[in-house]
Structure 1
Amino acid sequence: MTVARSLLLFVFAALAEIGGAWLVWQGVREGRGPLWIAGGVIALGAYGFAAAFQPDPDFGRILAAYGGVFIAGSLIWGMVMDGFRPDRWDVAGALICLAGVAVIMYAPRG
């Protein structure tokens, strides 16, 4: 259950951070206005809470692992929201990052 909870928190964090950054981008770069920017700021704030609920007590470990989740999540977000088409190297890099997340967060420690 702890791993499942951790994975769900990583998904939530990715959606909040990537979505928040995308909303700010849309508000500023695409001229959608201050409501989009405000929504992005709120989402980014929600992302800030996600790490606090991870079951692992080590902040550095959580944020390091989240970097890999962010990379893979950003590629997926780009595909869904912006029509980005990753090439095989993007996919390979994302899979390597996710393998790193698994090692950092879920390797047996004793």
Structure 2
Amino acid sequence: MESSPAILLLKTLGLFIVTALAEIVGCFLPYLWLRKQGSVWLLLPATCSLMLFVWLLTLHPVASGRVYAAYGGVYVATALVWLRVVDGVKLSMLDWFGAGVALLGMSIIVAGWDGRG
């Protein structure tokens, strides 16, 4: 049974958010080690997180380039939320607008997915 375009978009968005968090955590932990004198043991969960990130990207039913292009929009928005929540930086209206534009771009790309690559 084929999903509606709205369901496909919501499923894809959810998977991309989890994927973005895996990538950000996988990069943030080495940052803590290198810049904040964190333990070298942070590299172990960072590696696992980046492996999860790569695996999650393979779960989409279209060609890798389309996945990467659409994922980029969600990554931008997720990174800005991370900036606000984890780093405590107040986002500007332009930050929020940019996230919206990036998510709109992702939505347009996903709307064109037809399963043929």
**TM-score for both structures, normalised by structure 2:** 0.84
Among 16, 24, 41, the residue aligned to 1:35: 41
Provide structure 2 residue ranges, at least 5 long, that are not aligned to the other structure: none
Contact 2:25 2:46 in 1 (8 A): yes
Q: How many residue pairs align between the two structures?
A: 109
- Shift in CA distance, 108/23, structure 1 to aligned 2, threshold 3 Å: closer
Q: What amino acid is aligned across from residue 90 of structure 1 in structure 2?
A: D
The match for 2:106 is 101
Question: For the Cα contact (< 8 Å) 1:71–1:94, is it kept in 2?
Answer: yes
- Structure 2 counterpart of 1:76, which letter? V
**Cα distance in 2, alignment partners of residues 7 and 69 from structure 1:** 7
Contact 2:13 2:74 in 1 (8 A): no
Mark the structure with the bigger radius of gyration. 2
- How far apart, CA to CA, are the structure 1 residues paired with 2:33 and 2:49? 14
Q: Deviations over 1:32-67 (max 9, x none)?
A: 11111221121011100111111x321100101111
Runs of 4+ in 1 over 4 A off after TM superposition: none
- Which ranges of structure 1 fall in alignment gaps of 5 or more residues? none
Shift of 1:107: 3.7
CA RMSD of aligned residues (A): 1.8
SS of 1:83's equivalent?
coil
| SS in structure 1 at match of 2:89 | coil
Match of 1:92 in 2: 97
Matches within 5 A, 1:15-94: 15-54=21-60, 56-94=61-99
Matched residues, percent identical?
30
Give the helix-richer structure, 1 or 2: 1
**C-alpha separation between the residues in 2 aligned to 1:107 and 1:57?**
10
**Distance (whole Å) between structure 2 residues aligned to residue 24 and residue 101 of structure 1:** 28
